[in-house]
Chains A and B, each alone.
Chain A
Amino acid sequence: MGAMESVLALVVGLLLAGLILFFTFLRRGQWPTLRRLSALDALSADLGRSVESGTRLHLSLGDGTLYGPEASATLVGLATLSQIAKAGSVSDKPPLATSADGAVALLSQDVYRVAFRHQRAEDRYDPLLGRIAGLGPFGYAAGTMHTAPDEDVTATLVIGPQGREAALVAEAGSRRGHVVGGTLDPVAQALLYVSADNPLIGEELFATGAYLKVNRAHAASVQAQDIVRWVVIAAAIALAALGTVGIL
C-alpha cells in the first residue's frame, strides 16, 4: 500500500469510527428507522415460527476463519447467532450453528453458553449446538448438506463467509424449509440469489445486527456506512470528472 492509499484508508477509518461513536451515543434511547429488507423480515419470522412450533433453525456460519479477510462476515454471523440463540434457547429445539473452523466453533459455543445463561437455562446448554460440520470449503458444504434433513431443520440461515459451495448448503436447506442467505463473495451472492428464498445482496449482510437489534452500535454502523458511501461515490464522480477534463 502506498503512502497516499495509507492516508486515505486512515481518513476513511477515522471518519467511520467517529460516525459510529456519534450515532451510538446520540439519542441512545431511540432506534433509527431502517428501510425494510425482506430477507431480514423473513429471518425474524423464521425465528418466531421456530420457537412457536418447536422446530429447529440452522445458522450456517460458513467456512471462514477469524484471522483472514473474511473475518468480518464471521463476526456478523456470530452477532446474528447471539440474537437467535437468546430467542431460541427457550425452544424445545434450540438453533444449531455450523462452521468449519475450530476458533469459530469455540466462539459459537461461547455465544450459546451466554444465551442460555441469559435465559437462566444453563442446564439445557449443549456445547455441540455450536459444531464443526466439516473442514475445508467443500468438506463443510458436504457436512452441512446433511444438517437440514438429519436435525429436523425448518429454516436455514447462510450468514457468514462462503464461496460457491454456499449454493449447495442453501439448496439442501430449501428442500426442508425456508432459506435466508448472504455472504461476502459477489459470485457466491449471485448463486445465493437463485438458491435462497431471501438473498442478502451486497452490504445487506452487515445490516443484520441492526435489524436484529444486537446493540445500538450496529444501527450506528449502518448510518455511518450510508454517509461514507455517499462521500465515496461523490469523490469517485468528482475524480472521474476531473480526469475527463484533463485536470488530473
Chain B
Amino acid sequence: MKFNVSVVVAIATGLITLVAYFIPLAPLQAVRGALLQSGAILATVALMLGAGNLLSVHARKIRDRKPGHLYSIFLVISLLSVFIVVTIFGTQHPYSVWIVTQVQQPLEVALTGLLAGVLVIAGVRVMFRRPHWSTYLFFVTAVIVLLGTAPLPFVAIPVLQGFRNWLAQVPAVGGGRGLLLGIALGAATTGLRVLMGFDQPYQR
C-alpha cells in the first residue's frame, strides 16, 4: 500500500463526508456540502470529457473504416446536431423538448420492447445451455408467474393466481432481502477499502 498526496486527499475527503453524515455539526456539514458540490462540478466536467471521448472513439472508427462505421457517422451527426440545438435554444425550448420526446424516448421504448423479446429467447435457450435443477426451477416459476398474472381467455384459475401472489410475496421477497443484505455488506466493505487506502482506483 503506497501513500502519496492523492491517497491522503482521497481518504481525508471520504472520512470528512462520512463523519459529517453521522455527526450533525454545522462546520462539518458545511465542509461536507462544499465537498459534495465540488464533486458535482467535477462530474459535469468529466461528462464533457466523456462526450469528447465518445466522439474520439467514433471519429477513429470512421477514419479507419472499421466495421459499423456507418453507425458511427450517424452518431457523430446526431451528437453534434443535438449539442448545437440545445446550446443555441436552451433545454426548455420546444426544439430541445421535441428531440427528447420524439426521438430519444421512442428509441428507449423500442429498446425496452427489444429487451422483452431478448429475454423470452434467452429464457428458453438457457434451458439447453445450462441444464441444472435451478434453471428448471427458474423456468417453471417464471411460467407460473406469467400464467397467474396474464389475463387468460375463457378460464380463470384462482388457485394459480393465489400461488403466484404467494410466490411474489413470500419466497421472492425473502430471497430479494437476502440478496440486498449481501449487496449492502459488499458495498460497505468496498467503500471501507477505499477509505483505508487499500483500493486506489486513481494514480497507482
Q: Spell out A's residues near B (CB within 8 Å).
A: 6, 9-10, 12-13, 16-17, 20-21, 24, 65-67, 69, 71-73, 75-76, 78-79, 82, 100-103, 105-107, 110-111, 114, 128, 131-135, 138, 141-143, 146, 149-150, 164-165, 167-168, 171, 174, 184, 186, 189, 191, 193-195, 197, 201-203, 205-207, 214-215, 217-218, 221, 224-225, 228-229, 232
Contacts and interface: CB of A to CB of B under 8 A. Distances in A.
A149 B194 contact: no
B84 interface: no
Given A102-B50, A142-B111, A203 B182 contact: yes
B53 A132 contact: yes
B119 A191 contact: yes
A78 B39 contact: no
A171 B122 contact: yes
A128 B53 contact: yes
A10 B43 contact: no
B47 A101 contact: yes
Task: Say what secondary structure dominates the interface of chain B.
Answer: helix
Interface in B113-134: 114-115, 118-119, 121-123, 125-126, 129-130
A184 B182 CA distance: 10
A186 B68 contact: no
A106 B202 CA distance: 9
A103 B43 contact: yes
A68 to B, nearest CB: 10
Contact of A13 (B39, B188, B198): B188
Contact of A201 (B47, B48, B118, B179): B179
Contacts of A135: 47, 50-51, 54
A203 B108 CA distance: 29
Question: Which of B180, B185, B189: most chain A Cβ within 10 A?
Answer: B189
Given A202-B178, A202-B182, A203-B183, A221 B50 contact: no
Contacts of A221: 186, 189-190, 192-193
Contact of A202 (B22, B114, B179, B198): B179
Given A75-B199, A110-B202, A6 B22 contact: yes
A20 B178 contact: no
Contacts of B188: 12-13, 16
Interface of B: 1, 22, 39-40, 42-43, 45-51, 53-54, 56-57, 60-61, 66-68, 71, 75, 107-108, 111-112, 114-115, 118-119, 121-123, 125-126, 129-130, 138, 176, 178-183, 185-196, 198-199, 201-204
Contact of B189 (A164, A197, A206, A215): A206
Contacts of A75: 190, 194, 199, 201
Given A142-B111, A229-B182, 19 more contacts: A6-B22, A24-B198, A65-B43, A102-B47, A103-B46, A106-B46, A107-B202, A131-B53, A132-B54, A143-B54, A146-B68, A193-B126, A194-B123, A197-B130, A206-B190, A215-B198, A221-B190, A225-B186, A225-B189
Task: Say what secondary structure dominates the interface of chain A.
Answer: helix
Given A102-B47, A218-B193, A165 B115 contact: yes
Contacts of B185: 16, 203, 206, 225, 228-229, 232
Contact of A20 (B67, B71, B196): B196
Contacts of A9: 22
A72 B181 contact: no
A203 B115 contact: no
Given A146-B71, A229-B182, A72 B203 contact: no
Contact of A128 (B57, B108, B122, B191): B57
A131 B60 CA distance: 12
Contact of B199 (A17, A110, A133, A217): A217
Nearest to A24: B198
Nearest to A130: B53
Nearest to B125: A194
Contact of B111 (A106, A138, A186, A215): A138
Contact of B203 (A79, A110, A229): A110
A9 B38 CA distance: 26
